[in-house]
Amino acid sequence: MRISASFTVSNIGKFKEKLLLWAQQFEEIVWLDGNGHANTYSSFDALLAVDALTTIKTDSYQAFEKLREFQGQAKDYIFGYLSYDLKNDVERLSSKNHDGLGFAELFFFQPKKIIKITGNTVVFEYLMMVDDEIQPDFDLISSEVDLKEEKVAVTENIKIKLRIFKDEYFRQVRKMLSHIHRGDIYEANFCQEFYAEDTQINPFKTYQKLNKISEAPFASFLRVYDNYLLSASPERYLRKEGGKIISQPIKGTAKRASQVEEDEKLIAGLKADPKERAENIMIVDLVRNDLSKGALKGSVVVEELCKVYTFEQVHQMISTIVAQVAPNTNPVDIIRQSFPMGSMTGAPKVSAMKIIEELEAFKRGLYSGAVGYFTPEGDFDFNVVIRSILYNATKKYVSYSVGGAITAKAIPEKEYEECLLKAKAMREVLEE
């Protein structure tokens, strides 16, 4: 049972900043921020969940079955993440690559405190056991008093290393192209890791900087004890809204230009680029196939195909695929049928994932997984964990990964340039 109270806030930007700073006292945090992007399918502008009453943490073995049970028993909001390596629960696959981060494969919690922001309205939804803290919490966050930020030792001059060097990247992409030319796969997402060892960062401040230069529509700050995700994700993985399922895969990237005229040329170029469109359409077909597994017959529809959206750092080509499901369909089953998301795997999906595991030099873990929540009614919304910094405070290990879709027309040098473009914001934030 949750007790809710609604407040009006005049300076919502300042309130959001103080809210996330206030949240740092808790060991379980999920912060989701739309950064003012108008999205047809979003329920709020920002959402915070903190302070676990109950949790589930597991490896990939029977992970979705355990989540199904946890979600069914909670009958409440649960927030958390799904790592990419849950692929091993969905298919007969394994993950043997290097893992510097050591995150659990799946973690969800039932929060005692949830705070939703829509426009200038802030709604506190607290479990009854802590509902007497609503007013004091609001008063503290909205007051003129500056909240004290915990002092964190940070590493100066962070040294970022590459898990694979440029020549190795080209070699592995060429191997992937040979699989494509042989007909093993049509497309696969090939990723590389950048990392720093024996490094300490301030997660809150690092997220603030990343969010300021990216202002992504599916940004998130996640803390699970000593593990952190600082994400500037532009991509929605999957949303359930009543009987409707929505997926919005991204495939196709172009840089931004400072001059309006030049920027518009880059948009037009991306819209017309046959390689980028082919990448996007292949993934749309894959998503249609994934959604059709649990959807009502004939209900899978492409609402938007290859539409270009502009963000602070890049232009992106996004498609929107929707479907209808029967009222009694289990929400966790819907996710399981389409996980991991097509935009981060390839086609055919299982073959692509096997080749990815063989050619990549790191375990993806939470990178290219998903962060989000389930509602008490069984609706849900999850992003795709890309354009993100991952941090294990105990191991003092910082990591960010980037990748791109490799198709028959891929040129390794251009793919490498695209990776560096996607990595730009994370590198800037860590190295400044």
Q: Which residues are catalytic?
A: 235, 251
Contact (CB, 8 A) for 309 and 316: yes
- Which backbone phi and psi does 162 adopt, to 5 degrees? -105, 135
Which residues have C-beta within 8 Å of that of residue 228, sequence separation ≥ 6? Answer: 203, 221, 222, 390, 391, 392, 393
